[in-house]
Amino acid sequence: MNLCLSVYFDFRHQVFQIKVRDGNQIEKLKELSNILKLVSFALFPHFGTCQFPPEHPVNVVVPPASLELVKSFLESHGLEYSVSIKDLQALFDKQIKEMKFNRRKAKRDTNFNYGDYHSLTELYREMANIASEYPRVAKRLKIGNSFEKRPLYVLKFSTGKNKRPAIWLNHGIHAREWITQATGIWIARKIASDFSKNKPTITSILNKMDIFLMPVANPDGYVYSRTKNRSWRKNRSHKRFKKCVGVDLNRNWDVAFSKGTTSDDPCSEKYHGPNPHSEVEVQSVANFILNHGNFKSFIDIHSFSQLLMYPYGYINSMCPDCDELVSAPSPISDTQEILKPSVTIDLPIYIVSGNTIDWAYKNGIKYAFTFELRDNGTYGFELPADQIIPTALEIWLALEVIMVHVKDHLY
């Protein structure tokens, strides 16, 4: 298999990590973005609930022609920064080399390697394997097809009748966030394995609720990210007479559509699409959830920034249930300091509309959360494969806490 035949960045691109202390500095960053269209804020956190921890780094990709100008701008406006990645292409190349090595190793070992980044075909095959190995609890469902006609698969974990209270775990809506697809398939195996071993936590959850897990919510984009452009974010839909391809699937949901930091430019990586739910990938998930009618939690997994967030994202306001949403995962901090609830502070980074968890909350799914996994910008989206399992273990600790709270507080 050919991996990453071409990428968006050449080897001279760098990633700057900028500390933002107040609203004035945020405005300066917006000014910089407007002045230099080539400066990419692609490494901004993808969802912000409008509230953000003080001095949390903003990661900015800077092309070679703009390096000195960006440095001068930041220094002249008192913005503290460091160069977190000096050679972005080198990280791409290292990841490809690592994956090729793991491919050769996999040929000698028939077991699925959960410590590697896998192709869509391999992920889908492992979903089928999990359903086959654990037929008492796991079933692979097809809920539709992508724009390029790839199947949209979900694993259902259940011990009871249809339409029991349910939890939706969403991974990989942004193509380049490979750690999310990798942790998704690990979590799927973990759920099935723990239940088969009668582990008390997952058994108590599945005795009362169902879990639906979608490891790859954007299969077309994921394939494109692996084979053509490592930094690709959107899906791969296109319309006649449009020069650019793809919609940001986490801006396409029917909630405050086209507000905030979305774009009506089809060439933007944050293009929200022509209308809400215009994308079949979004339609398929939304229709399934609404037709089911008994989902109590929607958890969307992203990278990177190492945050735990909740509604709202489209207005600078707390949701009615935010006190409970903040307290629900409170034990997480006892085991993993990297997972932090996004609390209300006077530091709005940007408004994010048309996103998954605001849509879920708007449609009566109270326990709506977004996770941003590792890391804080050292590797960004190019997280080394040796961090997959440690990251999966971290998110699993958090998910267990949240799912138990949902199970114990059904409404």
106 versus 318: which is more confidently predicted? 318
Q: Does the pTM of the predicted model rise above 0.85?
A: no
26 versus 137: which is more confidently predicted? 137
Q: Which residues contact 385 (CB under 8 A, 6 or more apart)?
A: 95, 98, 99, 102, 115, 116, 117
What domains does the chain contain, in order, with CATH numbers?
14-86 (3.30.70.340), 117-236+246-409 (3.40.630.10)
Q: What is the DSSP letter of 308?
A: E
Mean pLDDT of the region 305-313: 83
pLDDT given at position 100: 67
Mean pLDDT of the region 264-282: 93
pLDDT-wise least confident of 2-11, 116-125, 130-139, 158-167: 2-11
Q: Which two tokens stand for residue 13?
A: 């691109």
Give the pLDDT confidence of 79-132 residue by residue, as tens digits.
888 887 777 667 666 666 666 666 666 555 568 999 999 999 999 999 999 999
CB atoms within 10 A of CB 76: 9
Q: Quick one: which of 404, 396, 401, 403 has its CA closest to 187?
A: 396
Buried-state track 138-166, b at ≥16 Cβ within 10 A, e below 16: bebeebbebbeebebbbbbbbeeeeebbb
Catalytic residues: 372
